[in-house]
Structure 1
């Protein structure tokens, strides 16, 4: 899980476990169908957190959601579909949050790449804290087949978006490495936030990380000289 600081390109395909692209599923409809999906995802999140993905049982998820097992299969196809739906929900919410923050900053006249990058990082980290139960689940090693490949795919996409936001020349290896390091810092901080139980501590972490990102985001020749 890394920092998503620019919205994804329109109509980006999803990936199945076999690596083939598929089109984005439609938004969950309002009414009864949307209520069923919401109940199933909430129950799946609870069971995944308590049991782990591997040990989670579909019967328990259906029982907690009070939705028939057949409806679970109809909507999500099984346990893997539930996990991927949760992952997608978190990813898209983080994208919406950071995109809205960047738009608001630009509307205020902010055009400095580093200031925009740090503002987006703060929004992402605050989202990781607000949705920490889901965030913690999604960085665990226990997940469905193919999830690691999906994570790597999106990590690469996030690094590219961050590079554009920071106006870094991706053709230069040093620029790519700098952006990858920054993105990794955000992802690591998001994991730490998942272990926080106190909002004050979480805010301290977010402030500290944003200060680090401000320093590291500047090109080497623009940083103040350090004392020997």
Structure 2
């Protein structure tokens, strides 16, 4: 979980296919289905964060949600589908947050790449704090089989987007390394925020990391 996400319209999210049916996540829910799915996701997040993904039981998730177990399978196919839906929801919210921040900064006339990058980083980290329940789950590295590969795909896409935002020449290895280091710093800080319980400490972390990013973002020489 790292990087500044700025949708470009040219890259699509990669979904991890289900090995049993060859499909990705369920289609966007509407109406009553949305209510059912939200109840299932809320319950799944509770159980996952309390017990870990591996030890979480579907029966307990269904009981806490008040939704029959059969409906859980119908909507998500099992634990794996629930976890991936939570990740997708988290990722999309982070994209919306950082994109809105960058748009607002540009509307104010900000065009300096480093200033924009750090503003996006702050928005992303504040989102990691606001959504820290799922962040705590990510800190544990306890997810479904294949999830690490999926997260690495997103990380690579975020590095490319950060490079464009910082106007770094991706053909130069030194430039790519600099952007990857910056992205890794953000990801590490997001993980710390996921494990943080004090708002004052969380704000201190965000401020500290943004200062570090400002220093590291400057091109050498």
Q: Same fold (TM over 0.5)?
A: yes
Mapped contact 1:139–1:191 kept (Cα < 8 A): yes
Displacement of 1:140 in angstroms is 2.3
Mapped contact 1:129–1:193 kept (Cα < 8 A): yes
Which residue does 1:126 correspond to in 2? 126
Displacement of 1:11 in angstroms is 6.7
Which residue does 1:205 correspond to in 2? 205
Aligned length: 219
Are 1:136 and 2:136 counterparts?
A: yes
Displacement of 1:199 in angstroms is 1.1
Which residue does 2:29 correspond to in 1? 28
Separation in 2 of the partners of 1:158 and 1:42?
27
Which residue does 2:92 correspond to in 1? 92
Separation in 1 of the partners of 2:183 and 2:6?
12
Which residue does 1:224 correspond to in 2? none
Mapped contact 2:17–2:24 kept (Cα < 8 A): no
Separation in 2 of the partners of 1:117 and 1:22?
35
1:183 aligns to what SS in structure 2? helix
Which residue does 1:111 correspond to in 2? 111
Which residue does 1:16 correspond to in 2? 17
Displacement of 1:78 in angstroms is 0.5
After superposing on structure 2, the runs of 4+ consecutive aligned residues of structure 1 that deviate more than 4 Å are 20-25
1:220 aligns to what SS in structure 2? coil
Which residue does 1:48 correspond to in 2? 48
What TM-score, normalized to structure 2? 0.94
Which residue does 2:145 correspond to in 1? 145
What TM-score, normalized to structure 1? 0.91
Mapped contact 1:129–1:190 kept (Cα < 8 A): yes
Mapped contact 2:16–2:147 kept (Cα < 8 A): no
1:143 aligns to what SS in structure 2? coil
Separation in 2 of the partners of 1:127 and 1:11?
22
For structure 2, list consecutive stretches of 5 or more residues without a partner in the other structure. none
Separation in 2 of the partners of 1:11 and 1:219?
27
Separation in 2 of the partners of 1:67 and 1:220?
57
Separation in 2 of the partners of 1:162 and 1:74?
38
